[in-house]
Structure 1
Amino acid sequence: MLHTGRAAQALEDNLHRFTGYDRALSDDLTAYRAALCGLAPMSAHEICSRLPGGPSGARPTEEWEVHRAPVLAFGVAMRNHEEARAWAAETLFDRITFASDGSQIQPMPDISVPVAAVQVGWFENPHNPKVPYVKDVRVEVLPPDQVFVARGGVSVFSDQAVSLRRFALEVDVLCEWMHDHAGVRPAPVAFFDGSLVVSFAERLEPETRDFYIAQAVRLLRTSEETRVPLVGYVDNSRARDLTTMLGHLIPALDRGENVTDAGILRGLMRWGDRTPAWTCAREGVLAAYRVGDSDEETFLGDRVCFVYLKTAEPQVPARLDLPRWVVEEGLAEDVVQVVRAECVVGNGYPYAIETADAVAVITAEDRRRFYGLFEQFAERNGIRLTVASKIQSKDRRR
């Protein structure tokens, strides 16, 4: 139990640190906002000429050349939520959207036979009352040979193996759907819940890192091959791509790690506003976005663009990762318009992703039911199964 009195005193003891952090961050954000707005007179060529040849955080796309503004106003006035919902319904009519999401059941170390499961749910919405929507799931069980690993002379369960399978299954479902909807017009929009730049993988073992990179590359290639727009949606991004770019352009800026792109843009945007598309030029993982062999290798690390979109007040803007072909073919605004409308229906969050999450979610009760099914399965098939005394004791006490 938390001793709230002592915790409150500990907070008071550190008050000066919190207020100092807040003041410093506010000053840094003000400086970065001014720097971003100061780019308006510059052409894309001028900006790029001042950036290093390698990773620079971000680079302007053709959209910057058209608009030369850090924020593009939405420009549609809606007096109330009823008008907003009517606008969203009109925008989305007959436009297919799709999202997938996943959940998992990790192996329990207190059960003698390891087993895990992943479930990916999806939601396809045709936005046409004459055509039914689709909600469905795919479930896979991971048997012992897929969850046991030897580490340090001890056999342990690999939570990572389960996470990898879940991620791959989410990508499988999205790629299959994009292939099935190639050529459909108006172009459907697929949502991936997360960034298309898998920077988190840099902290992992090389084999695991390469796996995540391969899945991200598969999403990018499938979208480009099928010409189905894909949105990697990040609700509360901590990315610093624009921040890094501004640091290169204006070396005098304080490169504090607490300044984020979304934090800079928050003070410049109203609901529905977006940024022009930027090419992601982040250091690290994008260097490994390649396909083919050493004789004929194609670099895809420059094929991810991003847009920030204000989807709710007073939150920071969301980040939308887009395959570069979407920007090159002039479809960025069309795709962003679909995201805006989805966020009206979902009250600040894409309804497609929200619904896919609800379809895929596995609750604590679901996990108990799964292990009950597994016990019945083991008994029916003569598989010896033992449960640790600790678990039995906990169950009796509960």
Structure 2
Amino acid sequence: MLDLTQIAQQMQGISQHLTQEATATRQRLELAQRLLAQVGEQQAHLVQMQETWRDRLGFSAAIPIEPLATRIDLDAAPACHTVIATDGSQIAPSHHEIAYCYLINVGRVVLHYGQNRYPLMDSRPEVFYRPEDLYTCRQWGLRTEEWMGYQRTVSEAVALAELASSASPPSPTLAMVDGSLIYWFLESIPAEARDRILLPILQAWEQLQQANVPLVGYLSASRSGESLNFLRLKACPYGEPDCATHCPGQTDRAPCQVLDPLKDTAFWATLLKPGQRSPIWSSAARILDLYGPHRVYFCYVHVGHEIARIEFPAWVAAEATLLQTALSLALTQVQKGYGYPVTLAEAHNQAVVRGGDRARFFALLEQQMIRTGLRNIGPSYKETRKRGSIA
């Protein structure tokens, strides 16, 4: 139970801290705008510098594909269009339950606008209980709970590709996922485990490409600083941005780190008007070297109440019309959802597993185990006591 009296005593300190941070943020924004203005004709030189010294940089700086002064107004979505989305949820495995297994539930949504067609809104659950599902990951030093999360990402991508391939609507179509298309977690797992996750995802993206359905990842309240890191190349006081030589072991305290902890969204909020997008950027995340032709690009879009980061594969960025359509449909989804894409919100609602759903799942599992002749089944005494606690 929270002691609100003690918390109230700390509020004044929090308010003072936030006031100081707000002042510091304004100063960083002014500095970032000055650096942006100074880049000007040096952009091509800085891009070349970034590519040359990439392996010696102590930070990840995205590469601008368009002039940094680019501001493009997005068109309204056509009256007839289709938007597809998937999202996932799970019931995690627990040794305290009646059986050690886990469930992944993928919510699927297909919304047709201006076509007089029924929407699709459902979920597809799958139970994983075989030893290869539960224990194979341990040979790579991964916990079952961790592996379950990776499998959920695969299930979402595969379901999205299946929906796009089966729908085949004649109108413009967009496939959306919640969150980044850059799977940072893959950097820290062994190659064999990584292939089992990444390859099915890339195959699903290829299906989307063949169906000519653009894919975007929508990030609300993004914490990325990739585009601002490009300005660090300009702020570097040395002739060559060789972090390993000039600033060894002190990347966080380097002279170019004058904008930290400013984030991209705060910066672009000062430059974009509602309905506008920023320049296109190519992410420099090292894991993308494994993506092949599906390298991830991104831009920032002023969706009305916030700056959203929207990511897309290279084949979407390469075709201007396809990209424009994708961004227009994504912006329209935010407007229809009063601040967040309708399809993503509905896919989440279809996927989410609530407490009652979890209880019914294990009750159904218990009934099935009894029918097969198993005895003395039930949760652990710890789990039983927690459920019956009077606190």
Task: State the TM-score, normalized to the length of structure 1.
Answer: 0.81
Listed as ranges, the matches of 1:45-124 within 5 Å are: 45-53=44-52, 55=54, 57-61=61-65, 64=66, 69-74=69-74, 91-124=77-110
Once the 2 structures are TM-superposed, how far is the Cα of residue 216 of structure 1 from its aligned partner? 4.7
What is the distance in 2 between the residues matched to 1:150 and 1:329?
Answer: 41
Q: Which deviations, in whole Å up to 9, do the C-alpha atoms of 1:118-144 show, x marking residues without a partner?
A: 110111112135211111221101115
What is the distance in 1 between the residues matched to 2:264 and 2:329?
Answer: 23
Amino acid at match of 1:189: L
Deviates more, 1:169-178 or 1:138-147: 138-147
Contact 2:137–2:143 (8 Å) recurs in 1: no
Change (3 A) 1:47 1:365: same
What is the distance in 2 between the residues matched to 1:42 and 1:185?
Answer: 43
Amino acid at match of 1:318: A
Residue of 231, 236, 247 corresponding to 1:251: 236
Matched, 1:281 2:267: no
Q: Which deviations, in whole Å up to 9, do the C-alpha atoms of 1:135-168 show, x marking residues without a partner?
A: 122110111525644999xxx9721232222211
Once the 2 structures are TM-superposed, how far is the Cα of residue 27 of structure 1 from its aligned partner? 1.7
Residue equivalent to 1:391: 383
What is the distance in 2 between the residues matched to 1:36 and 1:212?
Answer: 38
Residue equivalent to 1:82: none
Residue identity (%):
24
What is the distance in 1 between the residues matched to 2:134 and 2:198?
Answer: 24
**Matched residue pairs, number?**
363
**Aligned-residue CA RMSD (Å):** 3.0
Residue equivalent to 2:361: 370
Once the 2 structures are TM-superposed, how far is the Cα of residue 231 of structure 1 from its aligned partner? 0.6
Once the 2 structures are TM-superposed, how far is the Cα of residue 18 of structure 1 from its aligned partner? 4.5
What is the distance in 1 between the residues matched to 2:81 and 2:224?
Answer: 30
Unaligned runs of 5+ residues in structure 1 are: 77-86, 290-298
Contact 1:187–1:229 (8 Å) recurs in 2: no
Residue of 147, 150, 157 corresponding to 1:164: 150
What is the distance in 2 between the residues matched to 1:254 and 1:387?
Answer: 52
Residue of 240, 252, 255 corresponding to 2:225: 240
Amino acid at match of 2:61: G
Residue equivalent to 2:202: 217
Residue equivalent to 2:185: 200
Once the 2 structures are TM-superposed, how far is the Cα of residue 31 of structure 1 from its aligned partner? 1.3
Residue equivalent to 1:264: 267
Residue equivalent to 2:300: 308
What is the distance in 1 between the residues matched to 2:32 and 2:198?
Answer: 31
What is the distance in 1 between the residues matched to 2:137 and 2:185?
Answer: 23
Three-state SS of the structure 2 residue aligned to 1:281 is: coil
Matched, 1:343 2:328: no
Amino acid at match of 1:250: A
Contact 1:223–1:323 (8 Å) recurs in 2: no
What is the distance in 2 between the residues matched to 1:278 and 1:124?
Answer: 29
What is the distance in 1 between the residues matched to 2:136 and 2:210?
Answer: 40
Amino acid at match of 1:99: A
Once the 2 structures are TM-superposed, how far is the Cα of residue 73 of structure 1 from its aligned partner? 4.0
Unaligned runs of 5+ residues in structure 2 are: 55-59, 238-255
Amino acid at match of 2:225: R
Change (3 A) 1:117 1:3: same
Three-state SS of the structure 2 residue aligned to 1:195 is: coil
Residue equivalent to 1:137: 123
What is the distance in 2 between the residues matched to 1:94 and 1:245?
Answer: 39
Contact 2:161–2:205 (8 Å) recurs in 1: no
What is the distance in 1 between the residues matched to 2:331 and 2:14?
Answer: 41
